[in-house]
């Protein structure tokens, strides 16, 4: 016999299920826009509520409206086309890695001028990722050319302060623990996370990632974890920084590349380059919440921590034998809304 109490329980379960389903369905691609040519990375500016995107093909950095993805401005970087990008919100300075010219540029967002271009320590430099410690006004850049190293740039003078040598085999992604003054880097060649002590200026430890082709990472210092995107094994590994053990391996998609953590909403976003998708993971239970088609080759993903919106660059497919070929799903930026 069905009682009122049992019916209430069923109703409660259904209500929870509906809420969960709606929460997952709410994570959709809200907008996708064509931006420049040969786009690579992007960064979100809270001060301007804008997204800045590097475009190698047009030798420019585009400023997008964060809500509509409309191009509202651009900055010419003719002498040194930008690939990677970072921002110091306090000084309103963009920092770009210019792989073709083995350099890093500092760009004043107020004047839209390149105020300084910093040359590499050697002709073989191959700059990749850049992050900024706004509190100390320091800039850190991974360099995979001629032996892996990290540049340390003084944000006050925009001069190369020092170079940390021998950071591992093919150092690519980078994250910072500002309190402990340590850098965490992905060493793709050895599938390890390298830990660099900034004060000592050297690699002090390494942790196996448990994946193959470990390229980028996202730190969760509150929970002593790190999430690693592994291109070759097409997954994300979650590593406990205390025990050094792999807590979980989450299959995402072919070419797992860009990764970011939205700590406020406990979500991890992973751009799967070959799969053409962005995987959204619940950071609490490691369940996949969604796999969203965004564009041809998803490359970099970032999050506006206030709104929870995510932004993705989608690189384009090129056909050298067909100059008239246009990839309508490439060279785009996608907005994922919660």
For the chain, domain boundaries? 32-165, 209-319
Query: What CATH class has 32-165?
Result: mainly beta
Residue 302: C-alpha distances to residues 67, 236, 290 (Å):
14, 16, 16
Name 105's bridge partners: 96, 117
DSSP string, 234-271: TEEEEEETTT--EEEEEE--TTEEEEEEETTTTEEEEE
| Contact (Cβ atoms closer than 8 angstroms) between residue 51 and residue 45 | yes
| Contact (Cβ atoms closer than 8 angstroms) between residue 235 and residue 250 | yes
Distance between CA 167 and CA 181 in Å, rounded?
Answer: 16
Topology agreement, domain 32-165 and domain 209-319: yes
What φ, ψ does residue 12 adopt, rounded to 5°?
-65, -40
Residue 124: C-alpha distances to residues 99, 102, 147 (Å):
10, 7, 9
Task: Give ∠ CA 49-334-186 in degrees, rounded to 5.
Answer: 90
CB contact set of 276 (below 8 Å; sequence gap of 6+): 253, 293, 294, 295, 296, 297, 298, 314, 329
HSE-CB at 123 with a 13 A cutoff on CA atoms is 0
| Contact (Cβ atoms closer than 8 angstroms) between residue 189 and residue 204 | no
Mean pLDDT in consecutive groups of 10 residues from the start of the chain, 338 residues = 44 38 64 96 96 98 98 97 98 97 96 96 92 98 95 98 97 98 98 98 98 98 98 98 97 98 96 98 97 98 95 92 87 94
Question: Which one-letter DSSP state was computed for residue 99?
Answer: G
- Which CATH number is correct for 209-319, 3.40.50.10490, 2.30.30.180, 2.130.10.10, 3.30.2350.10? 2.130.10.10
Distance between CA 131 and CA 136 in Å, rounded?
Answer: 12
In 10 A of CB 317, how many CB atoms?
A: 12
Distance between CA 157 and CA 143 in Å, rounded?
Answer: 21
């Amino acid at each position: 016999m069905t009682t009122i109490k049992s019916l209430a329980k069923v109703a409660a379960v259904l209500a929870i299920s509906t809420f969960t389903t709606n929460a997952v369905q709410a994570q959709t691609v809200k907008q996708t826009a064509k931006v420049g040519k040969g786009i690579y990375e992007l960064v979100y500016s809270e001060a301007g509520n804008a997204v800045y995107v590097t475009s190698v093909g047009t030798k420019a950095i585009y400023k997008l409206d964060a809500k509509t993805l409309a191009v509202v401005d651009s900055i010419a970087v003719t002498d040194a086309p930008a690939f990677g990008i970072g921002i110091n919100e306090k000084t309103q300075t963009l920092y770009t890695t210019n792989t073709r010219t083995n350099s890093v540029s500092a760009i004043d967002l107020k004047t839209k001028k390149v105020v300084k271009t910093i040359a590499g320590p050697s002709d073989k430099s191959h700059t990749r990722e850049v992050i900024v410690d706004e509190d100390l006004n320091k800039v850190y850049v991974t360099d995979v050319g001629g032996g892996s190293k990290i540049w340390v740039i003084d944000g006050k003078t925009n001069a190369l302060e020092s170079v940390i040598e021998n950071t591992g085999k093919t150092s690519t992604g980078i994250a910072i623990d500002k309190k402990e003054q340590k850098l965490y880097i992905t060493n793709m060649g050895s599938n390890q996370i390298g830990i660099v002590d900034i004060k000592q200026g050297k690699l002090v430890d390494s942790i196996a990632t448990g994946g193959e082709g470990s390229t980028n990472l996202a730190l969760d210092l509150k929970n002593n974890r790190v999430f690693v995107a592994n291109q070759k094994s097409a997954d994300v590994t979650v590593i406990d920084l205390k025990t050094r053990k792999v807590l979980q391996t989450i299959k995402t998609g072919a070419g797992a590349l860009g990764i970011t953590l939205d700590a406020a909403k406990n979500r991890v976003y992973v751009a799967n380059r070959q799969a053409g998708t962005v995987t959204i993971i619940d950071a609490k239970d490691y369940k996949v919440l969604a796999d969203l088609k965004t564009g041809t080759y998803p490359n970099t993903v970032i999050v506006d921590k206030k709104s929870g919106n995510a932004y993705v660059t989608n690189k384009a497919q090129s056909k050298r034998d067909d100059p008239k070929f246009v990839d309508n799903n490439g060279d785009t930026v996608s907005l994922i809304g919660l």
